[in-house]
């Protein structure tokens, strides 16, 4: 099934892009963990799911940043798989051909802004900047986000970044990495 989807998303390039597709698939599975939506108040909407996928793609890209040409190329491949998946998903949801391109471009611009905001927030240390970035993006459609949920997500992001930092770059690029599950919020 994944091989067929990969061939549709990246025609003619499926075989050399398989690790990027596998890595993206792993990130999506993690991003859809029910605890984010059930316990942490992430909106279970198209926007909320997009933001969780974007956040997890960021975490992998952040880990690969500065790790050499091959890591940068792999990071770009994962990003391209994500964009192709967004395009495919919007078409499955019934968006017209003329509207899909514009929506995907808008989502890619949004993703670029998120990447920069999360990168700056992680570099800043502490949790204030990261909580603000998560509140603006992940919880951006929530009228009154729960500060405890936002803080929990910020702690998760820092923990996940450290978890990925402890893993070998070659293993990451072969999609042989693990992600720590989010803690259950009581």
H, E, C per residue of the chain: CHHHHHHHHCCCCHHHHHHHHHHHHHHHHHHCCHHHHHCCCCCCCHHHHHHHHHHHHHHHHHHHCCCCHHHHHHHHHHHHHHHHHHHHHHHHCCCCHHHHHHHHHHHHHHHHHHHHHHHHHHHHCCCHHHHHHHHHHCCCCCCCCCHHHHHHHHHHHHHHHHHHHCCCHHHHHCCCCCCCCCCCCC
pLDDT of res. 163: 97
Any domain includes 157: yes
What is the number of structural domains in the chain? 1
Any domain includes 10: no
Task: List pLDDT tens digits, range 53-97.
Answer: 999 999 999 999 999 999 999 999 999 998 887 766 655 655 555
Any domain includes 70: yes
Residues of the chain predicted below pLDDT 70: 1-15, 87-105, 107-108, 186
pLDDT of res. 2: 44
Any domain includes 160: yes
Domain that holds residue 128: 16-30+42-173
Give the up-direction half-sphere exposure of residue 29: CA atoms within 13 A in the CB hemisphere.
Answer: 10
pLDDT of res. 178: 96
pLDDT of res. 74: 97
Any domain includes 186: no
Any domain includes 181: no
């Amino acid at each position: 099934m994944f091989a067929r989807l990969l061939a549709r998303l990246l025609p003619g390039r499926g075989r050399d892009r398989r690790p990027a597709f596998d890595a993206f698939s792993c990130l999506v599975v993690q991003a859809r963990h029910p605890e984010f939506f059930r316990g942490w108040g992430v909106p279970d909407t198209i926007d909320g799911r997009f933001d969780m996928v974007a956040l997890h793609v960021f975490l992998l890209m952040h880990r690969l940043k500065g790790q050499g040409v091959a890591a940068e190329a792999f990071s770009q491949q994962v990003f391209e798989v994500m964009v192709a998946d967004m395009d495919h998903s919007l078409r499955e949801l019934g968006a017209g051909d003329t509207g899909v391109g514009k929506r995907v471009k808008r989502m890619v611009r949004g993703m670029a802004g998120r990447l920069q905001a999360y990168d700056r927030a992680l570099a800043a240390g502490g949790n204030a900047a990261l909580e603000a970035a998560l509140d603006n993006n992940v919880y951006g459609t929530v009228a009154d986000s729960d500060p405890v949920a936002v803080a929990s997500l910020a702690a998760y992001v820092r923990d996940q970044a450290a978890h990925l930092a402890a893993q070998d770059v070659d293993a990451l690029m072969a999609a042989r990495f693990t992600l720590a599950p989010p803690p259950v919020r009581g």
